[in-house]
Amino acid sequence: MRIDYKTLSQTLHALTSDETDEIAKMATMACELHHADDRFDWTGFYRVVAPELLKIGPYQGGHGCLVIPFSRGVCGACARTGEVQLVPDVDAFPGHIACASSTRSEIVLPVRRADGTLIAVLDIDSDQPDAFETEDARGLSMLITQVFGAPESCD
Ligand code: SME
């Protein structure tokens, strides 16, 4: 199965548009994403809990490491730079943190509120090599903005 970003956008709107709790939104997004695509073998969030420090948030898949400083790993690189990390071969990424020996490729995206505050990174691991494309970066970034970055309604 391959993710359809338009369909998932509609699903996530229905499930989260009235929700303001960020953890609840992360849990819902991790679940819907994980089950939408056979490439996604680990899907979850690492939250910014202190300056330069990430801690695990809601996720689907095998256990993930609990703490990641901004100085380490693909997630740390994303949090440090604010840029999407699209990694076709995790073994070629200096400092990659392997939560599962089966992981071959990875994409990590920044998660920001409407005011630009970095609150987390979204991490998706695949057991398939070179699994992610720029289309995934575009589609996932769109979903993140929809769920976390849209200005809250004033009503
Ligand atoms: N691979 C990530 C660590 C998180 S586990 O994959 C869930 C990294 O290098 O930051």
Q: What is the CATH number of the domain that holds 118?
A: 3.30.450.40
Residue 76: pLDDT band by 50, 70, 90 thresholds? Answer: very high
pLDDT at 84 > cutoff 60: yes
Query: What's the CA-to-centroid distance between 13 and ligand 1, angstroms?
Result: 28
Query: What's the CA-to-centroid distance between 145 and ligand 1, angstroms?
Result: 22
Q: Per the domain annotation, does 65 fall within a domain?
A: yes
- For the Cβ of 41 lying below 6 angstroms from any atom of ligand 1, the answer is no
Is-contact 72 95, C-beta < 8 A? yes
pLDDT of res. 134: 98
* Tally of domains within the chain: 1
Of all protein residues, the one whose alpha carbon is nearest to atom 3 of ligand 1 is: 97
Residue 151: pLDDT band by 50, 70, 90 thresholds? Answer: low
Q: Per the domain annotation, does 106 fall within a domain?
A: yes
What's the CA dihedral at 39, 9, 44, 117 to 10 degrees?
Answer: 140
Full-model pTM: 0.96
* CA dihedral sign of residues 146, 43, 99, 91: negative
Q: Per the domain annotation, does 153 fall within a domain?
A: no
Mean pLDDT, rounded, for 66-95: 98
Q: Per the domain annotation, does 51 fall within a domain?
A: yes
pLDDT at 122 > cutoff 60: yes
CB-facing half-sphere around the CA of 27: CA atoms within 13 A = 6
Mean pLDDT, rounded, for 123-130: 98
Residue 133: pLDDT band by 50, 70, 90 thresholds? Answer: very high
Domain that includes residue 53, residue range: 5-148
Mean pLDDT, rounded, for 43-68: 98
pLDDT of res. 32: 98
Q: Per the domain annotation, does 154 fall within a domain?
A: no
Of all protein residues, the one whose alpha carbon is nearest to atom 2 of ligand 1 is: 97
Q: Per the domain annotation, does 155 fall within a domain?
A: no
pLDDT at 154 > cutoff 80: no
pLDDT of res. 155: 36
Mean pLDDT, rounded, for 24-46: 98
